[in-house]
Amino acid sequence: MNGTPAIPAPRGIPLVGNTPQIPPDRPIQYITEVGRHYPEGVLSMEIGGLEQVFVADPDLAAEVCDEARFGKVIAPPLSHLRDFVGSGLFTARDDEEVWGQAHRILTPAFSQRSMKAYFPQMLDVAQELVRTWEAAGARPVNVSDDMTRLTLDTIGLCGFGHRFDSFRSEELDPFLQAMLRALTEVMNRTRHMPLVTRLRLVEDRTYQQSIRQMRQLVDRVIEQRRRSGETGRDDLLGLMMEATDPVTGRRLDDANVRDQTLTFLIAGHEATSGLLSFAL
Ligand code: HEM
């Protein structure tokens, strides 16, 4: 229409687009495989009623990371994630002032000095892993579950002074189970048309329950810190509760502290445990 060539797209199914072609248990692998058939390194798919563009080429990936030309769009699945992490850093929209505030308040928690300060806690959790694997002897271990325990316990302890003590239990922490249920539902909602989501009442009830469960844990973590009377801690929670944004002079409000806490508990362990599992 305006002379711009259309982005190549695999043929979908009339009305429902590419959604039914994507296996629910391996969406990323599927899209990666399809991407190999597009030597231009860019393709578009219609998923859940939305046209989504994927790049499969390092130069194009670098190009779309140019913040001067592209912004972060909070479309599904991120827009669904807002159901439980609201305007946390991961899901805040570009135009929300709170992103800048939280970013400026929290940056010191990622300085080299802070990283060094977290080291004893990181070592503490790593030793728990080593002890667990030593005790397993010749029995096989579940690497990806144990990496999840390792990284959740690490972010919990370094960021929030909270001990999940995941290695003491055979089952993954109830927080993790609630999170996995909620994330799975987010991915299902991304594939479904909005009408289908509205009709899945049982799934919605489980979803809302999982969100409540995660928030209860977060409230407990914040409450523990308040009751401890500790001040001046420069971990994530300490900064969120006490520090003021150098630009606006404002603190994060309670609802945002809760959203950020949940964001960090999820974002701080999930990708890290995936990376470690693959590396091992
Ligand atoms: C191997 C480890 C990690 C990988 C591969 C990873 C990957 C990513 C990616 C790709 C994004 C951008 C997502 C987007 O904009 O759509 C992101 C954002 C984010 N990650 Fe990670 N991450 C890792 C570790 C962590 C850790 C340890 C933390 C917290 C302690 C963390 C917290 C966050 C947060 C808060 C954001 C949102 C940032 C913003 O937009 O302001 N991540 N991560």
Digit-by-digit pLDDT tens for the chain (280 residues) are 456 778 999 999 998 899 899 998 898 899 999 999 998 999 999 988 889 999 999 999 999 999 899 988 898 889 999 999 999 999 999 889 999 999 999 999 999 999 999 999 999 999 999 999 999 999 999 999 999 999 999 999 999 999 999 999 999 889 999 999 999 999 889 888 888 888 999 999 999 999 999 999 999 999 999 999 888 888 999 999 999 999 999 999 999 999 999 999 999 999 999 999 999 9
Pocket mutation for ligand 1, best pick of 54, 67, 90 (most atoms within 8 Å of C-beta): 90
Distance from Cα 266 to the centre of ligand 1, integer Å = 10
Pocket mutation for ligand 1, best pick of 158, 272, 275 (most atoms within 8 Å of C-beta): 272
Structural domains of the chain sorted by starting position, each given as residue range(s) with its CATH number in brackets: 19-70 (no CATH), 97-279 (1.10.630.10)
Ligand 1 atom nearest to CA at 159: 30
Pairing of strands 50-55, 42-47: antiparallel
Model pLDDT, residue 2: 59
| Rounded Cα distance, 52 and 68, in Å | 21
Distance from Cα 198 to the centre of ligand 1, integer Å = 30
Q: How far apart are the first and last CA of the chain?
A: 50
The closest alpha carbon to 238, from 105, 111, 118, belongs to 105
Question: Which residue, judged by its Cα, is nearest atom 11 of ligand 1?
Answer: 90
Distance from Cα 253 to the centre of ligand 1, integer Å = 22
Q: Model's pTM, two decimal places?
A: 0.85
Token pair in block for residue 214? 């995660």
